[in-house]
Structure 1
Amino acid sequence: MSRSSRLRILCYDISCNKRRRKIARLLEDKASRVQFSVFETRLSDGALARLVDSLEPFLEGPDSLRVYTIGQTGERHCDVRGAGIPVETETGYWLM
């Protein structure tokens, strides 16, 4: 896996419906929604910083945005069960 394009997990807890919808729309442009407030994507460090910077103005009071970077070892141990979509691959597409 290229170090410049690592698997990123973004999740949020936003109290206001309007701001929550705005953040979801911004994330949907750059990531795959895997749960209601959880997204996965492959982004470089620079692209991730730009995305997070675009989301930060919508965070207020008790709101939170968490970003996790998953390395190769973590990806090998990722297990999706049930109706979940598969983890994004470096190839950029899924065969279903």
Structure 2
Amino acid sequence: MRLWVIVYDVADDRRRRRLAGVLGRRAERVQESVFEAWLSGTELHALLAEVAAVIEPAADAVRAYPLALRDRSRRETLGDQPPAPRPAAYWIG
């Protein structure tokens, strides 16, 4: 399980709302178009498949960046936005 930052730039309001809904079910919104989530590789691929069904590849962009963050104390945060919570336990499937 790894912390992922998922960002997007979507031109259409309807697609943007749908994409935010898809991401919001699995990730924590930390900015208007930025989400964080602790995901396994399988979970990430499943989420990106859902994302692909929502966006228009010729007009929209979605990127997922892995963070090599093992300890929250190594993250620098300014402002009141809480970080994505790391699951206490998870199943490896």
Q: What's the TM-score, normalizing by structure 2?
A: 0.82
How many residues were matched structurally? 88
Distance in 2, Cα, partners of 1:15 & 1:79: 30
**Structure 2 unpaired stretches of 5+:** none
Which of 34, 37, 41 does residue 38 from structure 1 map onto? 34
Which of 74, 79, 83 does residue 82 from structure 1 map onto? 79
Q: Give the letter aligned to residue 88 of structure 2.
A: T
Distance in 1, Cα, partners of 2:5 & 2:71: 12
1:70 paired with 2:67, answer: yes
Q: Give the letter aligned to residue 82 of structure 2.
A: I
Alpha carbons 1:13, 1:63 under 8 Å: kept: yes
Q: What's the TM-score, normalizing by structure 1?
A: 0.80
Distance in 2, Cα, partners of 1:75 & 1:65: 25
Q: CA deviation at 1:82?
A: 1.1
1:22 paired with 2:13, answer: no
Alpha carbons 2:28, 2:84 under 8 Å: kept: no
Distance in 1, Cα, partners of 2:16 & 2:60: 10
